[in-house]
Structures are given as structure tokens and as C-alpha cells.
Structure 1
């Protein structure tokens, strides 16, 4: 019999397939949600890339109310079968591989749209691995269209990478306590060129410097005098044998000088010294940065597509946030 453990905004019991129950997620569910996400990533792409601390960060973002903005679906044995999350126009849906093909993906997708409307959003966007044809077909059938392509790039680190000298007048050092606000302003200024909404400091920090996996030693910054002009922010996710670059930014008036190349190679060298076999990062077609990473020797490991949908007639379908987890199911 279908039912809910507690009333959940935007979902009716009859929308779920028989044998499943749903309730809002709480912080204590982070590990279970991470296991679900990791199972989806392994089934689709052969390996998991999402760290457990990212799930915690998403559940505790400023403005997120888990009791209304999340939905955790359990099977009859109490295992996590599906998960949904909505914040403004961004949404995530995950369905455990063992529970796909039963209608959970469609039910969660409908919930995300209903909840986004309740939040006052006129649009919604979700990310799908390009290996997940079933999820892409579900979204297209639901009126979603392609927005941008995302690529996960990697570089192997079998030997210590060579790090070029910084350009004249530039010094490079690791991130240190007290850099937070300056790096926040630098990265958000750079990302303003393609992102539609500037993050608050609290939201930005939850995704970067406040994450348990944040690694200052592999997060070099570049300065011109006492002015911060470039930064790379990196994560060392427990249980992974590779490093991960979360943010890369160079101030506009200092671009095309090789600063990003120097900072990235400095991060790669740190990860090599820590015994990591590779380093990875995500970029997307809206940034125009793919060629930079390829010139550094990075190659595409996998790709995803961000699908979007207007929730009101005549609503916009461009300039939307593009970060998120895949939709599966």
C-alpha cells in the first residue's frame, strides 16, 4: 500500500507507485542519500564522484527548508529508493538503480515541478548523465529542452607535474585563513559573466571553504601586489583516489597571462604529492573553458546535459543555473 510517513508539500500518496512511502529528508539521512547517489553514479558511469559532504551541504544551504524542499522515498524494507531536492529553479532527482522503471522518477519529477511553483519559480532545470537515456527521454516527454552540456575532465598524475613560473608581478601561495571573503568576491565576479544569480557568501562557502573536504594546501591563489587576481579551490574527498577542483577563477584584467595554468598545475602537483592518481573537475559549455583544460592535458571522462523547462507560458529557457545532480529513473 502506498502512503507517506508525514504530509509532504507538493506530493499526493497516489502519485507514488505501490509499496513506497515518502517523507522530507533530515540531516541524519545524508549518508543514506549519499549511498543512493553513489549507486546511481556507479551504475551509469562506473564510478561515484559525489562526496558525502556535498549532500550535507545541499541539505543545509541557506534558504533550504528540508521539511518542504526535499523528498525521500523508502521501499517496503525502509531502504532509500529515491530522493528529490528543489531550490528555486534548480532541482535534483535520484532513483536507486534497483528501483528504476517503476514510475518513481516520474513521480519525483512531478513533485519537483510542483514544489518549484510553490517556491515562486517560473522555471526548473535538472541535470542528466548522457549515459542515462531513460531519464533524458522522461524529461523530453515532460517538455524539457537542452540548455548546456557539462563535462567531467580528468588528468592522470603518474609523475610530478611541472609548474610554470607565475607571470611577472604575480605571486602564488596556498589559500590561508582570512582569504575567504576576497576569494568569494573574485569567484562570484568571474562567474557573474555566465551565472544568472550571484550567490550569497553563506551559500558560496557551504559549497566550498566550509566543506569538510576543502583542501587549502591544494587551493593556490594568485596576487598582484596585495590584490587577489586568481584562485583555484580544491577538494580532497574521502574514499576517492583522485583530487577534485571545485572552482577556478581569474580576474578579467589579468586573464590570458597563464595565471589559471599556473594555479591548476600547482593544485595538480599538490595532489600528486598526496598520492592521488588523478585530478578532476567539471565545466560546462556556458563557460567557454573547455579548451583551456584540454591544453593542460585534461581529457573528457564523461558528460551530462542540463535540461530546462518553463513552468509558465512563455517563460524563459536560457540563462538558468546549471549545477546539479543527475535525474535518474
Structure 2
């Protein structure tokens, strides 16, 4: 749509629907936010592109780009289902953009038929945390970005009896999709379609098959680690870890992660990171592997009243 200056937007700003043509601008905004909070970027442009690529001619999401008077990116809002994301460029904070985008996100979620909305906020972002609490949001779960240094070649344990491990190959995508979505069904609010899942994992330009080991019991896939090679980031990143329910507790996840760490070390990566949250109950597993918490975030949720 054309640039708009709606009444709810602070003076001096305009907004329009964000599209894939805006990936570079939105990525600059997100990186600026991450540098202020963490001192380094963590999001690649392919992640933004995946958010803005909707299934079919009428995507079930909303994305809004706010620009300043010079046309630079000042704010970004994204809604899909019951999840939202809001970013305000550090140079434009304190002007009401965060509150305006949060209100837009709630309105958009209602238009999509939602009755709840959740948003993840870094615990270091005290202003955003205060805004959400003031607007009636309550904490739901904690998320942690974990890291492990890879100064030397990681020791790879022998797979459990009856289990073989190999890297991801062409043709593995559908079975890996079923395995990871089955595993995540325990805590995710909704099962993703294959197209949605692929956009976030194997369909990304940064997907790294060599650092994505799979575990098989016979010819059955029972475990998977899916990794990314994020541009502009010198660390390895694990996007998914999943083990089939009936094969948990056998050391499969530990074996697969060690394989991924080993590959990243050979690629010259000094460290590897991954996200987990309190709903998975996996934090202790990662800590036993030697991973530590780099920083944390909280998912806040709110019931949306009609109107």
C-alpha cells in the first residue's frame, strides 16, 4: 500500500506495508537494535525474508515498516497468528513508536481472528519490558541464548547402540520436518506447515547441511540437528534440535550436537550458539554439554478483548 500517516503514528513518521523488497532496510534496523543491546548482531537477512514471505496470495500475517522524514527505517512491526515482533531503531526511541506499533499489532491480530498475542522481549530491553507490562502483558516463558566456545576440536561420542549418524542430504527434508514438528508439538501453539517450516530451516540460504547431522535407528530418523551459517556472524548457529520421544534419554541429542560443534570447529568458527526456552526443559542438557547462557529473553502474553 502507499505510505500513510495514520493518526496513531507519532508526528514526523509514515508507514506502509512491509514486503520482501524491504528486507535490507528492516535488517539494518534489527541489527542496530541488537548491537545496542548485545554489542553484536545475531539476525541474518534471510530470517527477515522468511518472515515476510507468506503462503499464498493472502498471507495470514501483517508487517509494517515505519519510516522517518528522510525515508530511513525507524520501526518495524510483524504479526502472525498469536505472535508479534516489534522493533524500534535506537535513534528513534522515546517518541512513542513502540507503543504505537504494539497497538497496531494488537489490532492486526484481532483482524486475523486472534484472541491472544505474545511477544518476545530481551530482558536487557527494560523500556520494552515496562511498556508490555503497562499494557497488560504477563510473562509466559523464558528463552536463553546459549553459547559454547570451540577453541579445540570437539570430542564426538560414539552413537548409542543401534544408532547411526550422518550429515543431512538431499531428500531428507520431509522426514526431518515430521520429526521436528512431532517433537515440538509438546510445547508449540500450532504445528507449522511444511512450507512454513522450510522457510525457517532447510529452505534458508544459510542452511548448512554439513553441520546438520541426523540420527537413524535402522531406516527410521530418530534425531536431528539443523544448523545455519549466518552471514556477517563468525559463530555457528543451531536452529533446531529434536529427538523422537521413544528414543530420548539415550544420548542422541548429545551425540548430534557434538557432531555439529565438531563441524563448526573445522570450519573455523570460534563458538556455536542456540536458543532454547523453559517450555522445552532442555536447558540442563545444554549446560551438561558445557554451554552457558549469553543472554535471556521473556515471552509476554496477553488476552485480546474484542474491539
> What TM-score does the superposition give when structure 1 sets the normalisation length?
0.90
Residues 25 and 66 in structure 1, CA contact (< 8 A), matched pair in contact too: no
Q: Does 1:259 align with 2:226?
A: no
Residues 59 and 66 in structure 1, CA contact (< 8 A), matched pair in contact too: no
Greater length-normalized contact order (CA 8 Å, ≥ 6 residues apart) = 1
Structure-2 residue corresponding to 1:143: 136
Structure-1 residue corresponding to 2:70: 77
Q: Does 1:196 align with 2:189?
A: yes
The total of aligned residue pairs comes to 306
Say which is worse superposed, 41-50 or 95-104, in terms of deviation: 41-50
Match of 1:38 among 31, 34, 57: 31
Where in structure 2 are the equivalents of 1:260-279 lying within 5 Å?
A: 260-279=253-272
Say which is worse superposed, 64-73 or 105-114, in terms of deviation: 64-73
Where in structure 2 are the equivalents of 1:87-98 lying within 5 Å?
A: 87-98=80-91
Q: Secondary structure at the match of 1:203?
A: helix
Residues 24 and 66 in structure 1, CA contact (< 8 A), matched pair in contact too: no
Q: Does 1:113 align with 2:114?
A: no
Match of 1:280 among 269, 273, 278: 273
Looking at structure 2, the residues matched to 277 and 300 of structure 1 have their Cα atoms a distance apart, in angstroms, of 16
Gaps of 5+ in 1: 314-329
Q: Deviations over 1:24-43 (max 9, x none)?
A: 11211101100100100110
Structure-2 residue corresponding to 1:52: 45
Q: Which runs of 4+ in 1 moved over 3 A?
A: 4-7, 63-68
Looking at structure 1, the residues matched to 35 and 57 of structure 2 have their Cα atoms a distance apart, in angstroms, of 28
Looking at structure 2, the residues matched to 18 and 263 of structure 1 have their Cα atoms a distance apart, in angstroms, of 52
Looking at structure 1, the residues matched to 154 and 202 of structure 2 have their Cα atoms a distance apart, in angstroms, of 25
Structure-2 residue corresponding to 1:216: 209
Residues 261 and 272 in structure 2, CA contact (< 8 A), matched pair in contact too: yes
Structure-2 residue corresponding to 1:326: none
Structure-2 residue corresponding to 1:173: 166
Q: Deviations over 1:222-253 (max 9, x none)?
A: 00110000000000011111010000001111
Alpha carbons of structure 1 residues 241 and 178: separation in structure 2 relative to 1, 3 Å: same
Shift of 1:44: 1.0
Q: Deviations over 1:148-196 (max 9, x none)?
A: 0000000000000000000111000000011111110100110011112
Looking at structure 2, the residues matched to 311 and 21 of structure 1 have their Cα atoms a distance apart, in angstroms, of 26
Looking at structure 1, the residues matched to 61 and 235 of structure 2 have their Cα atoms a distance apart, in angstroms, of 35
Looking at structure 2, the residues matched to 78 and 68 of structure 1 have their Cα atoms a distance apart, in angstroms, of 24
Looking at structure 1, the residues matched to 279 and 143 of structure 2 have their Cα atoms a distance apart, in angstroms, of 9
Shift of 1:5: 3.9
RMSD over aligned Cα, in angstroms? Answer: 1.5
Shift of 1:62: 2.4
Structure-2 residue corresponding to 1:289: 282
Residues 219 and 234 in structure 1, CA contact (< 8 A), matched pair in contact too: yes
Looking at structure 2, the residues matched to 142 and 64 of structure 1 have their Cα atoms a distance apart, in angstroms, of 33
> What TM-score does the superposition give when structure 2 sets the normalisation length?
0.97
